[in-house]
């Protein structure tokens, strides 16, 4: 049974943070940021906004795109590694904000790969219960876990949310294949060390910066360039299509310099690699749906186009999806 995207939307906070502001806080130059990351700006959530608020905004946009109401949704899956709080699940807060009382809900935390993992779950749920509609939302709010003494991370990350409504589509459309991967042996490459059961929040964990986002950037780059191109080749081969048939690549947006390298090695000669990192920075698991929505609103996606979604991040994790695009009216 073909399962695909019925509607799509995104939300970026209004507060645009320039490189000039970041450079002053991190003690680097604006030129250093652009050279190292290609990022020119990012968005930070307002003081009264939490992850659930960003997620709800994106969800409403996706519902509007699909021509549906919250009452039409059977399940809500929220991908985030920056929840409002440890409990309750952020998806329940989103359900409440939408007043989607019919919908069951749960969270997924696979860091930056979470959106593709959530798509796989949605596909399985709909295959088991034909006719159901699943709202998949990816939202991350990293601005509150940044260490502005660490230029390697503070220059990269921003806040945002993207959402899709997933349901049955016509023959030949929708998800053609999804591949997921996990490398727990590389867990130290991307991490937030404190705030859980191993290192509960305390004066000590706050004082030593244990609640900040940390990343080993060079090793992450090596992981991406070693593992992602062959994984994408495997994805399309197993789906029975040629690399030349792919029209679009929508990747996670870690930083612009890494995307330049990934574009050269992707192996899809006719595909356009879509980017939002210059405008929004790295918005975690929201990167893929935010970028997919930007491509949709730009009118770049044509009915029947083959689209590769590729995500990678903390864990280390990876998720890849081959999708045949079904035309969605721009509202």
In the annotation, is 282 catalytic? yes
Confidence (pLDDT) at 331: 72
Is 252 considered catalytic here?
A: yes
Give the pLDDT confidence score for residue 329 in this predicted structure: 86
Of the residues 57, 252, 296, 320, only one is catalytic, namely 252
DSSP state of 76: E
- Which of 248, 255, 274, 282 is catalytic? The answer is 282
Spell out the long-range contacts of 210-216 with Cβ–Cβ below 8 A and sequence spacing 24 or more.
211/145, 212/145, 212/146, 212/147, 212/150, 212/153, 213/142, 213/145, 213/146, 213/147, 213/153, 213/157, 214/147, 214/150, 214/153, 214/190, 215/152, 215/153, 215/189, 215/190, 215/191, 216/188, 216/189, 216/190
* pTM (predicted TM-score): 0.96
For position 179, what pLDDT does the model report?
A: 98
Q: What is the mean pLDDT of each run of 10 residues along the chain (331 residues)?
A: 95 97 94 96 98 98 98 98 97 98 97 98 95 98 95 95 97 96 95 94 94 92 96 98 98 96 95 98 98 98 98 96 94 72
Q: What is the pLDDT of residue 46?
A: 98
CA distance 205 to 189: 19
- List 19, 57, 112, 274, catalytic entry: 112
């Amino acid at each position: 049974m073909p399962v695909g995207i019925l509607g799509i939307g995104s939300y970026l906070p209004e507060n645009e943070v320039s490189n000039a502001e970041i450079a002053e806080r991190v003690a680097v130059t604006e030129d250093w940021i652009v050279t190292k990351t290609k990022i020119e700006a990012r968005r930070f959530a307002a003081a009264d906004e939490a992850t659930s608020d960003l997620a709800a905004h994106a969800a409403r946009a996706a519902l509007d795109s699909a021509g549906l109401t919250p009452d039409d949704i059977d399940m809500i899956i929220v991908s985030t590694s920056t929840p409002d709080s440890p409990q309750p699940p952020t998806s329940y807060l989103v359900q409440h904000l939408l007043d989607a009382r019919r919908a069951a809900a749960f969270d997924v935390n696979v860091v930056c790969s979470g959106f593709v993992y959530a798509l796989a779950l949605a596909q399985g749920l709909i295959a088991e219960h034909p006719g159901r509609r699943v709202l998949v939302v990816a939202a991350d709010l990293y601005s509150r876990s940044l260490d502005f003494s660490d230029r390697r991370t503070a220059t990269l990350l921003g806040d945002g949310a993207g959402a899709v409504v997933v349901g049955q589509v016509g023959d030949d459309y929708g998800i053609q294949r999804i591949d997921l991967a996990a490398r727990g042996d590389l867990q130290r490459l991307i991490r937030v060390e404190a705030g859980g059961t191993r290192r509960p929040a305390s004066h000590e964990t706050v004082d030593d910066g244990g609640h900040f986002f940390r990343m080993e950037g060079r090793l992450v780059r090596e992981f991406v360039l070693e593992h992602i191109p062959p994984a994408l080749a495997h994805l399309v081969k197993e789906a029975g299509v040629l690399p030349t048939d792919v029209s679009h690549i929508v990747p996670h947006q870690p930083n612009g310099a890494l995307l330049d390298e990934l574009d050269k090695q992707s192996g899809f000669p006719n595909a356009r690699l879509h980017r939002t990192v210059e405008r929004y920075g790295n918005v975690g698991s929201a990167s893929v749906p935010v970028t997919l929505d930007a491509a949709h609103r730009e009118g770049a996606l044509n009915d029947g186009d083959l689209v590769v979604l590729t995500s990678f991040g903390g864990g280390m994790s990876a998720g890849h999806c081959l999708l045949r695009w079904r035309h969605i009216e721009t509202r």
